[in-house]
Amino acid sequence: MPVANPHQHPPSAIEEALDVLRQHGHRITAPRRAILHALIGRGEPGTIEQLHQAVGTDGCDLVTVYRCMDAFEKLGLVRRSYYESGTCLYEYQPPGAKEHHHHIICRSCQRVETLDLCVVEGLEKLVRDRGYHKVSHLLEFFGTCPDCFAAEQERS
């Protein structure tokens, strides 16, 4: 039995997300629809730049993508992760989703794969035991993916 890709979302996901916006008194605009469409349809995490491209450079301004992602993040509709370089990666998170996962990011082709588990939850308790509050963590794996590695081998 194949494991469901956590980056795959049903067509209803967009409406679901729009509802969350409405529930919080936010307006539904063309750019927001377009960005959500790009984000949800993408099937894997993307950078602001990639989302902007997907929406179409004339679809909306780059700044609008930044502002929307900020808003979506506050509503819990997106999760943010990071490249080794520090660049942000955004991915859609269905409303109410609690479980989270981590990524394997190829340093060569920037491909993002999903590691569908998180062993770090336990460690967070350790951190809370030290007196910290609002604890969160950031865990990403980096490596050269099989394809890029093969390509490297051929070249040499």
Partner DNA sequence: TTACGTGCAAACAATTTGCACAACA
Partner DNA sequence: TGTTGTGCAAATTGTTTGCACGTAA
Q: By the criterion CB under 8 A, which residues form the site for a second copy?
A: 82, 84-88, 104, 106-107, 113, 115, 119-120, 122-124, 126-128, 130-146, 149
Task: Work out whether 138 is an interface residue with DNA (CB under 7 A).
Answer: no
Q: Which is nearer to DNA, 2 or 25 (CB)?
A: 25
Q: Is residue 109 close enough to count as binding DNA by CB under 7 A? A: no
Q: Which region, judged by CB under 7 A, interacts with DNA, from 59-67, 91-99, 107-115, 131-139?
A: 59-67
Q: How does 61-90 read in b/e, with b if 16+ C-beta sit within 10 Å?
A: eeebbeebbeebeebebbbebebeeeebbb
Residues with Cβ within 8 Å of residue 99, at least 6 apart in sequence: 118
Is position 32 an interface residue for DNA (rule: CB under 7 A)? yes
Size of the site for DNA (CB under 7 A): 25
DSSP 44: S
Q: Say how far apart CA 70 and CA 62 lie, in whole Å.
A: 13
In the complex with a second copy, the residue whose CB is nearer, 14 or 139, is: 139
Query: Per rule CB under 7 A, is residue 98 in the interface with DNA?
Result: no
Footprint of DNA (CB under 7 A): 22, 25-32, 47-49, 60-64, 66-68, 70-71, 86-88
